[in-house]
Homo-oligomer: A and B are copies of this chain.
Amino acid sequence: MEEGFIPDVTRANGKGYIHSIAIDAVIFGFHDRQLKVLLLEYKSTNLFALPGGFIMEKEDLNNAATRVVTHRTGLKNIFLDQFYAFGNYSRYDPQPLKTIMTANGITPGDKHWLLGRFITVGYYALVDFTKAVPAPDGASDNCKWYDLNKLPKLMLDHKVIIKKALECLQVSLDQKLTGFNLLPEYFTMGELQNVYETILGKKFLRAAFQRKMLGLGILERVSKKFTGKAHKAPYLYRFVSAHKA
Q: Which A residues are closer than 8 A to B by beta carbons?
A: 18-21, 55, 57-62, 64, 82, 84-90, 117, 119, 121, 171, 175
In the assembly, what is the distance between CA of A55 and CA of B85, in Å?
13
Q: How far does the alpha carbon of A61 sit from the alpha carbon of B57 in the complex, in Å? A: 22
In the assembled complex, the Cα of A189 lies from the Cα of B89 at a distance in Å of 42
| A21: contacting residue among B58, B60, B119, CB under 8 A | B119
Contacts of A86 in B (CB 8 A): 61
Chain B residues whose CB sits within 8 angstroms of the CB of A55 once the complex forms: 87, 119
In the complex, what residue of chain B is closest to A61 when comparing beta carbons?
B87
Cβ contacts under 8 Å, A117 to chain B: 18, 57
Q: How far is the CA of A93 from the CA of B175 in the complex (A)?
A: 35
Q: How far is the CA of A171 from the CA of B82 in the complex (A)?
A: 16
B contact residues around A171 at 8 Å (CB): 175
Tell which of B57, B82, B87 touches A84, judged by Cβ atoms closer than 8 Å.
Answer: B82
A82–B85 alpha-carbon span in the complex (Å): 8
Known A20-B18, A21-B21, A175-B171; judge A60-B88 contact (CB<8 A).
yes
How far is it, in angstroms, between the C-alpha of A20 and the C-alpha of B22 when the chains are bound?
12
Query: What residues of B have a CB within 8 angstroms of the CB of A175 in the complex?
Result: 171
Chain B residue at minimum C-beta to C-beta distance from A88:
B60
List 24 A–B pairs whose Cβ atoms lie within 8 Å, in order of A's numbering.
A18-B20, A18-B117, A18-B119, A19-B19, A20-B20, A20-B21, A21-B21, A55-B87, A55-B119, A57-B117, A59-B89, A60-B87, A60-B89, A61-B85, A61-B86, A61-B88, A62-B87, A62-B88, A64-B87, A82-B84, A82-B85, A85-B121, A119-B121, A171-B175
Contact B85 A85 (CB under 8 A): yes
> Measured between alpha carbons, how far is A117 from B64 in the docked complex, in Å?
15
Residue pair B19, A89 in contact (C-beta under 8 Å)? no
- Nearest CB on B from A91, distance (A): 9
> Which residues does chain B contribute within 8 Å of A21, judged by CB atoms?
20-21, 87, 119
Chain B hits for A89, CB < 8 A: 58-60
User: A57–B55 Cα gap in the complex (Å)?
Assistant: 20
